[in-house]
Amino acid sequence: MSADTRPGLNENLGRKRLAFRQWRGQRPFWAGLLTLLAGLPIMYFPYANLTIGSLTLRMATTAGAGSLIIGVLLVVLGLTLWFQPASRVFAGVAAILLSLVSLVVSNFGAFLVGFLLGLFGGALGVSWAPGRAAAEGGGPQGARAGAAVGGQPVAAGAAPGSGDGLDDLSGTSPTNGTNGRHRAG
């Protein structure tokens, strides 16, 4: 079978991959994935049985129900980060807090695996910001060329020390020349 016998499959797969990439770029995807994955070991380990030969080791704790609740909530928060990106700060903070609580409740946060995944996933969720629309110039230089400092357009080739106002560290505003401080007298 040659590669040309099913050309529609490659086009369809490419389209779906690009659609997934666009969907992934509009939300905190990696934050949701890490948070979702953090809930799985936290739910699993308190109910797991480890069998070594004929010896069965049960890792159940008295807080098994608490571990299950924390794990389910982390999975739900991961899905929330994917499907409700507007609530990313709440979901991220809640994931961080639940991960911290899992240290005490669920076998040191499922042996630190679920704890670390939840901590990093929550931090990514809190820090994620939606991307800006691309400038008409296209690319990073096009966005830079249309930028303005104090109402004055910045040249596209502006460099540090060129006097374009971007490297002014005096604390004065380019719009009115004041630094926001009031005079005492």
**Per the confidence metrics, is the pTM higher than 0.85?**
no
Number of structural domains, the chain?
1
Domain span at residue 54?
A: 33-127
Residue percentage of the chain with pLDDT more than 90: 31
Structure tokens belonging to residue 70: 């924390």
**Phi, psi of 90, deg, nearest 5:** -60, -50
Six token digits for residue 158: 């502006």
> What's the DSSP call for residue 185?
-
Say if residues 118 and 92 touch (Cβ distance below 8 Å): no
Is there a domain that residue 120 lies in? yes
Nearest alpha carbon to residue 110 among 170, 45, 163: 45
Residue 41 lies in a domain: yes
67 is a domain residue: yes
Cα dihedral sign, 169-173-177-178: negative
1 — pLDDT class (breaks 50, 70, 90): low
Average pLDDT over residues 47-56: 79
pLDDT tier for residue 37 given thresholds of 50, 70 and 90: very high
- Model confidence pLDDT, tens digit, residues 118-162: 999 999 999 998 877 666 555 555 444 445 555 555 555 555 555
| Structural domain contains residue 81 | yes
Residue 56 lies inside a defined structural domain of this protein: yes
